[in-house]
Every structure is written in structure tokens, then in C-alpha cells.
Amino acid sequence: MDLKSNIILISGPTASGKTDFAVKLANKINGEIINADSMQVYKELKILTARPSIKKQKKIKHHLYGFQPVKKKFSTGLWLKLAIKEIKNIQKKNKIPIVVGGTGLYFKALTDGLAKIPNIPLKTRLQIRNIHKTIGQKNFYKKLIKIDSHSKNRINPNDTQRMIRAYEIKKYTKTSLFEWFKKTKPIFKKDKFIKIYIDFPRVQLINRISRRVEEMIKMGAISEVKTYLKLKVRKENSSNKVIGVQEISELIKKKINLDQAKERISIKSRQYAKRQSTWARRYMSDWNKIDLNNVNISNLKKFFYNYLL
């Protein structure tokens, strides 16, 4: 197989070691790294999003990290456009693109294409969010499947974000989200992707998350949030969803103490990791699942060729 014609995808739950693995792999196979994490794009939130260190970025060329101001909106469509451009540029240099991150929707957009759905007016979106808030999750789901039968059994009743998105698309365009998907075509051929999913045992992952939270606090996460709060970012902006922003904000306001803040960040991170794993089971069933406990990092190239090609 001509590896240079391929695109390597590396995903996994938060704190699973995706970045370290990608850097070591890139070093072995002459690759460059492209970010596929929706929160690591933000310029002002380096510590809480666990952005790769300057040392790692100097060692291996990284793309699409920390370039987006938190006050500006960022979408999957914009990420896809930028990622495609970076992939092609890396390939022109005869290097191997390695796309790394934990945002499942980014990978799905890259491998399956992204539906060209018209922009939904903000007024409509806010009205629908208000309906969800008023009638609650359970009743909103019933309302969704009533107007869009394609959503039944395809959208988890607990997946608030996707549920609202499906509802607003059907309501505004009169066409189901899943009908839009059928019209979608990917940019790259599917056999060009080498898909790797890092899957740590649950107990180990919980311990890794706890250690990461401690490291973030030591690195200056509290100061980072203080600076972020001064920017007065709108509540609806995605950057407010970065795990740790809300918890440390409450710490700064003295509503909770440091131990409580760390515990809440850990809990929220574990919940996020669980959602990532659920997504992977549903949409990444054809990915190569690996446990880094069983990978010989010192002979990574051999492992890569023997097990993944």
C-alpha cells in the first residue's frame, strides 16, 4: 500500500492519549497533524482544551489549533473546508495527513461528506430552543418524531443538541435531516482513510481524566478562565461549552471551592468521554480499535504496518 496516498484518522475519548500517539506516529511516518477537536480551535482556551504543547507543535507541524477567536462562531462546515485544504496541502508536500481529535461529527463530515443544509435563521433557532425548554426533553422528542418520522430510532432521546438540530431543519426546510444526508457526497474516496480509535479501559480512563484535571489547574486553568470571562463572550457561543469554564467560573465567584470545582470538571469529562464512546459504537464500528497498553511505542512503525495496513 502506498501510505502517502492515505489519510490517517485518530480518534478516541477525552484523555485517551490521542495527541501523544499522533505525534509519535507522525514522527515515524513523516506526517503532519490536523486538529479535529471542536474546542481546540479556540485561541484563548489553551489549557482547558488540552491543546498540544508548543514543544509538540515544534516537533511535528500542527494545523487548525488555536486560531479561532472565542467570540466568533465556528461550524462543522467551516472546519471541513479548512481540513480539506490542509489535507491537500500536506499531500502536495509528499507527507501524510494525520487528522486527530475527539469530535465525532468532524470525522463523519470528512468521511461521509456534509449535507448542504441552508442556514437556519437565528429567530427560528431561538424559538425552537424555547419550545424545548418549555415542554422538556421527553415531550420535545415526541414532537420531533411526529414531524420527522426519520428521526425515530436514529436520534437518541437524550441527545439534546442533535434532537433540536433535526427539529429546526425539518421545520425550516420541510425536509428531514436524514434526507439531506442522502444527497451528500464525500470529497475523498472512502478507501483512502485509515481509521484508528484509541479505546482505553474505563477505569484507566477515569484515572487519566483525574490526573489531567490536576495538571490543568497547576498549568494555570484558573487564570485562563479569569481572562476568558473578561471577554464577555455571549452565552450561546460554543466556547462556553468547554469543560471547566463553568466550573472554574463558579470557583472564581466563590460559589464552590477548588476541590468541588476539580470534582465537577472530572465528572463532566467522564460524561463527555462516555458520549464519545457511545458515538464511536454507533458511527465508528469500522474503525481499528486499539488499546495503547498493547502498543509498542518504540516500534510504532512496525505496529502500524503489521496491524493497520
Domain region containing 174 = 122-182
Same domain? For 70 and 162 the reply is no
Same domain? For 271 and 224 the reply is yes
Average pLDDT over residues 190-198: 93
pLDDT digits (tens, 9 = 90+) for 74-117: 999 999 999 999 999 999 999 999 999 999 999 999 999 988 88
> Residue 186 — pLDDT band, cuts 50, 70, 90?
confident
CATH number of 138's domain: 1.10.20.140
Same domain? For 67 and 48 the reply is yes
Q: Where are the alpha helices (DSSP H) in the chain?
A: 18-29, 54-59, 76-92, 104-112, 122-135, 137-147, 160-173, 177-182, 202-219, 221-230, 245-252, 258-283, 300-308
Same domain? For 240 and 262 the reply is yes
Same domain? For 249 and 106 the reply is yes
Report which of 9, 45, 22 is spatially closest to residue 237, judged by C-alpha positions. Answer: 45
Q: How distant, in Å, are the alpha carbons of 241, 299, 302 from that of 307?
A: 37, 12, 8
Same domain? For 108 and 165 the reply is no
- Strand order of the sheet with strand 193-198? 62-63, 31-35, 96-100, 7-11, 193-198, 288-290
- Contact by Cβ (8 Å): 196, 93: no
Q: What is the separation, in whole angstroms, between the first and last Cα of the chain?
A: 7
Distance of CA 237 to the CA centre of its chain: 16
Same domain? For 16 and 110 the reply is yes
Same domain? For 189 and 178 the reply is no
**What sign does the dihedral 130-131-134-136 (CA atoms) show?**
negative
pLDDT digits (tens, 9 = 90+) for 242-298: 999 999 999 999 999 999 999 999 999 999 999 999 999 989 999 999 888 877 766
Q: Please tell me the total count of domains within the chain.
A: 2
Same domain? For 167 and 225 the reply is no
How far apart CA 158 and CA 160 sit, in angstroms, is: 6
What is the chain's Cα-based Rg? 20
Same domain? For 128 and 247 the reply is no
Same domain? For 168 and 213 the reply is no
CATH number of 265's domain: 3.40.50.300
